[in-house]
Structure 1
Amino acid sequence: MFLQRSAVAAVRRAAPRAAARRTFVSSIVRRDASKENPPSSGPRSLLEGYKKLEDIKTTEDLLPPGAKPGTVPTDLEQATGLERLEILGKMQGIDVFDMKPLDSSRVGTLEDPIVVNSAGEEQYVGCTGCPADSHQVLWITLTREEPVARCMECGSAYKMHYIGPPDDPHAHHAENAYPRPKNMADFIKPEYANL
């Protein structure tokens, strides 16, 4: 009786699976490249019809043309703002945001710190030690007022190099109502703080 019930249960489970199986079909569309780009037109540049980085002056220059009616837009045809700036830079072989990792083959010293470029008023640096990943990530804040800081774990020194727009001498900045919070740099002896 037990074997009979288990055989019936196995048949019930197996029957719907066999009926539900389908084969996988794919199709390949082959296009003739010679018809789309006739040889008489010559090689076309990827940037043809698009502005180069040196031609971009305002945010209006970063507005895309959009896709032709009836087509799906590419990233280049629909990206705006900083994303468009990054795409245009990559097409010219320029890494606009300098995304390569920092030098972790050495420990930065106060005489020869690891330089970090920044276009803003402050920059966050994640230190993992030397060699890389020798300690947990410790986040260090570098500002224009305090451009040099050290990692509390490994002692590596980092220096912010400001590459942003120049200061406007006519701008009137409001005084900060909140004082800067204290950090470990406030407790360093003055003779060690001289850079």
Structure 2
Amino acid sequence: MLLQRSAVAAARRVAPRAVARRTFASSIVRRDAPKQGQTAGEGRSLLEGYKNLDQIKTTEDLLPPGAKPGTVPTDIEQATGLERLEILGKMQGIDIFDMRPLDSSRVGTLEDPIVVNSAGPDQYVGCTGCPADSHEVKWITLSRDEPLARCMECGSAYKMHYIGPEEDPHAHGHSTAERPKNMSDFIKPEYLYH
């Protein structure tokens, strides 16, 4: 042990050798994208060749054209699926995933909860209290089976509003796992909020 410490100390005392200096150089090809409403040059529209959101009907509509040979693809030329849908929405000025923060100007009650939209069977909500940042983030799980829940810290109520498809295309007849028991399973039925 003593030998290891002295070897490390000796290595620290030795003057560092001159390191070969390497310059950093890069070449950048910049594509100045025209702003919405402008043309992309040669009389082309900005969204020419790309589908509008109302034209997208199937997942095949979200496949990209790809880049021209010999060029580096941009995000719009290579993105697929939900990423492509989000990019096309932003190009048209639409926030596909509604990324606005939840209403933290009030405390949600059981009669008037803060509504959270969800396209999936489960939704995680991070509560920071009212007013915002009153307490540390407390994560709450909402589901289609239990759409109403309260924050353990401030008592604010949240309710999931399901906006997704009625049937899950990924279910394939699999049985769902049973929810693990927690303390709410031992509350008297008259105290439950439904």
Please confirm whether the aligned pair reaches a TM-score higher than 0.5, indicating the same fold: yes
Distance 1:52 1:102 in 2: 28
Distance 2:137 2:117 in 1: 19
Report the identity percentage: 79
3-state secondary structure, aligned to 2:130: coil
> Is residue 41 of structure 2 the alignment partner of residue 37 of structure 1?
yes
**Letter of the aligned partner of 2:154 in structure 1?**
C
Q: Which has the larger radius of gyration?
A: 1
| Structure that is richer in helix per residue | 1
Gaps of 5+ in 1: 1-15
TM-score where L is the length of structure 1: 0.72
Partner of 2:181: 182
Structure-to-structure mapping, 1:91-106, within 5 angstroms? 91-106=91-106
Distance 2:59 2:113 in 1: 35
Distance 1:104 1:47 in 2: 37
3-state secondary structure, aligned to 1:50: coil
RMSD: 3.4
Q: 1:92-123 CA deviation, whole Å, 9 max, x = no partner?
A: 11111111111111100111100101011110
Distance 1:64 1:175 in 2: 35
> How far is 1:183 from its partner?
3.1
Partner of 1:90: 90
**Letter of the aligned partner of 2:110 in structure 1?**
L
CA contact (8 A) 1:120 1:164 kept: yes
CA contact (8 A) 1:149 1:185 kept: no
Aligned residues: 168
> How far is 1:189 from its partner?
4.5
Distance 2:91 2:187 in 1: 47
> How far is 1:47 from its partner?
1.5
**Letter of the aligned partner of 1:106 in structure 2?**
R
1:116–1:53 distance in 2 versus 1, CA, 3 Å: same
Distance 1:179 1:65 in 2: 43
3-state secondary structure, aligned to 2:45: coil
**Letter of the aligned partner of 2:81 in structure 1?**
G
Partner of 1:114: 114
> How far is 1:82 from its partner?
1.1
Distance 2:178 2:68 in 1: 54
